[in-house]
Amino acid sequence: MAETVPVRCPACHREHRYTAPVYPCVCGAPVGPPLDRDRAATPVSHRVWQDDWVTVRCASCGRSGEWPRPELGCACGTVLRVPVAEGRGPVAEGRGPVAEGRGPAAPDRGTDQEADAARAATPGTPGAAAVGAAAARPPFRSVTIRTARDAVTAAALYLRWLGYRDVRRADQRPPSGIGLAARGVLAQVDPAVRPATLRDVECLWLTAMTESADCLYFSLTGYADDARARADALAVPLFVLDLTGTPRPVNAPADALATGGTGDRAP
């Protein structure tokens, strides 16, 4: 069950009831950050990427992953950071061994069920690996998109669901939007109200080429026709994020990736 705590805004003294968000672990169990009832919420005056994440361990499978730190927007305009009880166990259902690990929205090991499903795919059969990988993944569950930060969170969760490890903010900032990186891949998250352009797609592809990585693009409002044509020619997967936070493939490379994932779940 999601945890609910009272939160008082120090700027205007309004009282709020805050319910912790619950995110899906790769094993399928819901995981929520444990909230600290004894500490007061603090205003967010300056953002640092590392401070926007908190390490939470799944009680079902024992994995530790980094999830968005709880925040609450007050009607007075103040953004409040809700304190997390770092020493307590996570709010999650299920039981399992405690295993230490780290990686933003990305565990280091797959579950036994995932490995069994992958082995169950018939070797040598076209598409067998993709079918096995798709069967191994639980249904994708994301966050409702209300802000640009929500869009980045949704994209990071989706990359993790696909099987990418160590999702983090990219070292190089893209010309537009926000860059995410993981092992072997670069992703661009574009929350702009205009469709992604041909230049956006080509810049992402060129940056990925210099780093010998694959790439994919997430847009809130879609793509210009020439951008889609160029992405098809370069085999760049394109996704559109709907307001539920669910990425929708809009070209063949994205369809293939969504169906098969990366297959990179074993250590």
pLDDT at 130: 41
pLDDT at 260: 81
Q: If we measure between CA atoms, which residue out of 170, 227, 167 comes closest to residue 197?
A: 227
Q: Is the dihedral of CA 168, 171, 177, 183 positive or negative?
A: negative
State the DSSP H helix or E strand holding residue 91, giving kind and residue range, or none if neither: strand 91-92
The DSSP bridge partners found for residue 72 are 80
Q: In the prediction, which pLDDT does 98 show? A: 30
Tell me 138's DSSP state.
P
82 backbone dihedrals φ, ψ, rounded to 5°: -80, 125
Assign 195 to helix, strand or coil: coil
Q: Count the helix, strand and coil residues of the chain and give each as a percent rounded to the nearest 5.
A: 25, 25, 50
pTM score: 0.54
Amino acid residing at 264: D
Three-state DSSP at 113 gives helix
The tens place of each residue's pLDDT in the chain, 267 residues long, gives: 567 889 999 999 999 988 877 777 767 778 888 888 888 999 987 766 667 778 888 888 888 877 778 888 888 888 888 988 865 544 443 333 333 333 333 333 333 333 333 333 334 433 444 444 455 668 888 888 888 888 999 999 999 999 998 898 888 788 888 999 998 999 999 988 889 999 999 999 999 998 889 999 999 999 999 999 999 999 999 999 988 889 999 999 999 999 887 645 433
pLDDT at residue 226, as a whole number = 94
What confidence score (pLDDT) does residue 112 get? Answer: 38
pLDDT value, residue 248: 94
Residue 49 to residues 171, 180, 195, Cα–Cα distance (Å): 12, 12, 26
Distances (CA, A) of 196 to 199, 230, 239, 240, 243: 8, 12, 11, 10, 17
Supply the DSSP symbol for 89: P
SS3 30: strand
Measured from the Cβ of residue 261, the count of other Cβ atoms closer than 10 Å reads: 20
Place of tokens 């036994």: 112
- Residue spans per domain, the chain: 4-92, 115-260
